[in-house]
Amino acid sequence: MIDRQRGVPIALGSRIPLASLIQMLAVAEHLSFYRAANALGVSQSSVSARIKALEEDLGILLFERNTRGVRLTEAGRLFVERVSAGVDHLDHAVKSAGMTALGERGRLRIGVHGLIPHSFLAKLIGRFRDAYPGVEIDIAESTAREAIAQLRADQLDIAFVVGTPNPPDCHSRRIWTEPLVVAMSDRNPLAARERITWAELADETFLVRPGGPGPQVHDHILIRLSGRWQTPSILRVSVERASLLSMVGQGFGVTLLGAASSLSPVAGVGFLPIGDEPEPVMFSAVWSPFNRSTALRNLLNLADEMRRSL
């Protein structure tokens, strides 16, 4: 079909009212204008008029009429199959859009410093998945600096980081705290203590990863030990968390962790609280103020609910 004013082709489907297609499908299902009209709650004359107008627009006969009712023509049968599939897709699209708007469907990209079993963060993500099974969750591990850069590049929706960063172009919120513990080989003479002090750790070699919370751990060690005792021995090891703890168990050195790590025993490794650590470690959520994701809001609301119940 040609638009005579503009001289360009027009898709016929864009001119057909959706109501006409729905009434056509009802007639095809009931094979009766009367029963289709009753099912739709409209008059039989309205259905008959719409079907006739539709056939005229298409230039084909969809139904053969007779005294006993109607039946589909071969062209009508093919048209009904294609329209029925299209209406199903439209219905799915409408429902999906509605669920996404409510935060019940979609995707949530989460940056983490590490996902420790039994930790607040692991429980939060687990409860969110139970509450919103239709939301796909992508998890990426990185340093706080990398995570904030990814937020700015719209590669993450939210990042959970160690500390209390306050970047001027992002929102941030304190979510939970954990006491700081030191992990050391259970063969270390200090491992028999109930707790330990920074002075007793001054001669230890600290193992620090370059990824995850490693940079913050490195800085924290320097803050606590530099200037009071000899320069601390810090060894950077490019391994995953499990390998790091394995190295600790083998006596390569000690490392600092949040207390949630002690809830998952590791062979050969002991976890001791640091008695003179002035305050627990703070963990924060950071996200872009331009992110309008309802799934993100639901996650933050759930985090607040969990925090209040602690």
The DSSP line for 212-255 is TTHHHHHHHHHHHHBTTBSPPEEEE----HHHHHHHHHTTS-BE
Higher confidence at residue 7 or residue 174? 174
- For residues 97 and 111, state if they share a domain: no
Provide the Cα torsion 28, 34, 37, 39; round to 10°: -80
Q: Where a domain ends, among 102, 121, 142? A: 102
- For residues 120 and 264, state if they share a domain: no
Residue 97, pLDDT > 80, answer no
Q: What is the CA angle 169-170-171, rounded to 5?
A: 140
Report the mean per-residue pLDDT for the chain: 87
Task: State residue 59's pLDDT score.
Answer: 87
Task: State residue 98's pLDDT score.
Answer: 60
Domain count, the chain: 3
Cα separation, 272 vs 259, in Å, equals: 9
The CATH number covering residue 188 comes to 3.40.190.10
Q: Please state the rounded mean pLDDT for residues 268-280.
A: 93
- For residues 239 and 305, state if they share a domain: no
Its pTM surpasses 0.85: no
Look up residue 141 and give its amino acid. E
- For residues 83 and 136, state if they share a domain: no
Task: State residue 76's pLDDT score.
Answer: 86
- For residues 171 and 287, state if they share a domain: yes
- For residues 114 and 248, state if they share a domain: no
Tokens of 208: 């620090």
Of the candidates 261, 246, 271, 276, the residue with the CA atom closest to the CA atom of residue 184: 271
